[in-house]
Amino acid sequence: MAEARNPGSPIFLPNGTRIFNRLVSFLRKHYVRYGFQEVITPTIYKKALWAKSGHLENYADDMFTVTSTSPSRADAAEDGSPGGEEAEYGLKPMNCPGHCLIFASQRRSYRDLPIRYADFSPLHRNESSGALSGLTRVRRFHQDDGHIFCRPSQIEDEIRRTLDFIRVAYKVLRLGPYRLALSTRPLENYIGSLEDWEQAEGALKRALDACGQTWTLNEGDGAFYGPKIDIILKDSDGKEHQTATIQLDFQLPKRFELEYQSPAPEVEQRGETTTDPELLAVSGPVRPVLVHRAVLGSVERLMALLIEHYDGKWPFWLNPRQGIILTVNDSEPVVNWAQITQKVLLGVTSASSADDDAECLPSNLAIDIDDSPRSLQLKVREAKTKGYGMIIVVGPKNVAKGSVTVDATGIPQAGDQLAEKAEKALEMMPEELKL
């Protein structure tokens, strides 16, 4: 839902929120698998932080400024007077600085690495209003943002895992094909040593080779602060969309003075290993490598792609319309029975029994009711058009028999946990008739 009062900040209605939450929960499951720890970081930071991160220098136009509406509430400047630059905040366009602060908040050892943080915070980027468009170009969005802090020797393995994560996620979402493009060191104006770049680019190339997909090279096309891999999705019209990204960063760890302790720090910094006991005897600080990565990219944008891609035919687990109960008429017994059926399918039958408090185990199914006083034929047609997975009809006969009439053609036969739950829930109904 777009709104004049907040251009570029879409509102998610209940169905959109269902999809959004299911995507987030899908990613969270895989975060356990791929070793990401979720964190929640602030929405606004003092301008001083954005100066430190370099965003104020390179990104100011894209950022919103946040100030106290009331001067008396502004934070005091260092000289004690309120207001001024000191009191200004920036609305965050990305999570990286927050994750760097978390990394820097503790002493880290090489044994702790890789450390992988994930974050679903809302982000804001100030696109000019002419560029705004639906869910694809917005000012407020959510990214399945992640940052990996790793040892130089771990780059290759981390990139492999990230490419694997992307492959799995896109397969489950039935997206693709996609192509991979590596952008390497620009000829001039790059930071970090030539050695760092070569070591990192070598690791990225090996990881790309290992992933079993062809990839292309954009020589010299990388950012000044590190090489990157773009994942470019082709939609059904052949149009390309950049969704996932993997971006190495030599700059932020420097700006935030990030470090971890390691034996043989110089060898470690080069991404090499040694067995020389003399070298290993001395420990010291090493700068970690930072990898920014997003699997879905902007969740809003990906949802727009999915809406087009599925064209109403959502996979059952992601469908915000998994089932609907249609009443044959709007008499009280029929509407009541429809509501009971809904509760059974939602897994909340004992809603008001006082002895069942802790064990609230909803099925996680999305089940709606249409008890409007319209003809059944019309309601069935509408439900099919809207893409409901299962259509359940309740009429006077069902009330008498305690049954429901089910059209389960929209439920996949196997391979979907939620669909299995739906089948089980239906078995709990006293009697079941397939249309």
Residue list 387-406, contact with its own copies (CB under 8 A): none
Among 58, 75, 176, 276, indicate the residue that binds its own copies (CB under 8 A).
75
- Cβ distance to its own copies smaller for residue 78 or 278: 78
- Cβ distance to its own copies smaller for residue 105 or 385: 105
Residue list 300-329, contact with its own copies (CB under 8 A): none
Does residue 96 have an active-site annotation?
yes
Q: Which of 145, 196, 249, 371 is catalytic?
A: 145
Helix or strand run (H / E) with residue 141: strand 140-150
Please report whether residue 171 would count as binding its own copies according to CB under 8 A. Answer: yes
Residue list 84-113, contact with its own copies (CB under 8 A): 89-91, 98, 101-102, 105, 111
Please report whether residue 70 would count as binding its own copies according to CB under 8 A. Answer: yes
Among 63, 150, 391, 408, indicate the residue that binds its own copies (CB under 8 A).
63
Cα–Cα distance measured from residue 244 to residue 427, given in angstroms and rounded to the nearest whole number: 41
Please report whether residue 210 would count as binding its own copies according to CB under 8 A. Answer: no
Structure-block tokens of residue 313 = 């035919």
Pick from 120, 137, 51, 63: nearest CA to 93: 63
Least distance to Zn ion, CB of residue 99, Å: 7
- Which whole-number Å values give the CA distances from 12 to 124, 132, 221, 299, in the listed order? 16, 17, 36, 12
Q: Which stretch in 179-187, 253-261, 272-280, 340-348 sits in contact with its own copies by CB under 8 A?
A: 340-348
Residue list 68-107, contact with Zn ion (CB under 5 A): 94, 96
Give residues with Cβ within 8 angstroms of 141, minimum separation 6: 122, 123, 125, 298, 299, 300, 301
For tokens 């893409």, the residue is 387
Among 181, 223, 307, 346, indicate the residue that binds its own copies (CB under 8 A).
346
Cα–Cα distance measured from residue 367 to residue 430, given in angstroms and rounded to the nearest whole number: 19
Please report whether residue 164 would count as binding its own copies according to CB under 8 A. Answer: yes
Contact (Cβ atoms closer than 8 angstroms) between residue 388 and residue 322: yes
Cα–Cα distance measured from residue 261 to residue 58, given in angstroms and rounded to the nearest whole number: 31
Does residue 237 have an active-site annotation?
no
Does residue 143 have an active-site annotation?
yes
Residue list 33-62, contact with its own copies (CB under 8 A): 33-34, 37-46, 48-49, 60-62
Residue list 359-388, contact with its own copies (CB under 8 A): 359-362, 371-372
Does residue 321 have an active-site annotation?
no
Please report whether residue 351 would count as binding its own copies according to CB under 8 A. Answer: yes
Contact (Cβ atoms closer than 8 angstroms) between residue 329 and residue 374: no
Residue list 125-154, contact with Zn ion (CB under 5 A): none
Q: Which of 292, 293, 301, 321 is catalytic?
A: 292
Please report whether residue 13 would count as binding its own copies according to CB under 8 A. Answer: yes
- Cβ distance to Zn ion smaller for residue 38 or 382: 38
Structure-block tokens of residue 43 = 């929405």
Contact (Cβ atoms closer than 8 angstroms) between residue 392 and residue 422: no
Give residues with Cβ within 8 angstroms of 57, minimum separation 6: 51
- Which whole-number Å values give the CA distances from 109 to 151, 239, 268, 284, 285, in the listed order? 10, 45, 12, 10, 9
Pick from 329, 310, 328: nearest CA to 389: 310
What does 178 interact with, of Zn ion, its own copies, none (CB < 5 to 8 A by kind)? none
Does residue 100 have an active-site annotation?
no
Pick from 139, 125, 96, 118: nearest CA to 247: 96
Cα–Cα distance measured from residue 279 to residue 317, given in angstroms and rounded to the nearest whole number: 54
Per DSSP, 287 falls in state P
What does 239 interact with, of Zn ion, its own copies, none (CB < 5 to 8 A by kind)? none
Least distance to its own copies, CB of residue 185, Å: 30
Does residue 293 have an active-site annotation?
no
Among 214, 236, 275, 352, indicate the residue that binds its own copies (CB under 8 A).
352
Give residues with Cβ within 8 angstroms of 6, minimum separation 6: 140
Pairing type for strands 390-394 and 367-370 reads unpaired
Cα–Cα distance measured from residue 105 to residue 375, given in angstroms and rounded to the nearest whole number: 63
Among 205, 287, 292, 301, indicate the residue that binds Zn ion (CB under 5 A).
292
Q: Which of 55, 147, 151, 301 is catalytic?
A: 147
Does residue 247 have an active-site annotation?
no
Please report whether residue 414 would count as binding its own copies according to CB under 8 A. Answer: no
Can you give the binding site for Zn ion, defined by CB under 5 A?
A: 94, 96, 292
By annotation, the residues acting in catalysis are 96, 125, 143, 145, 147, 228, 292
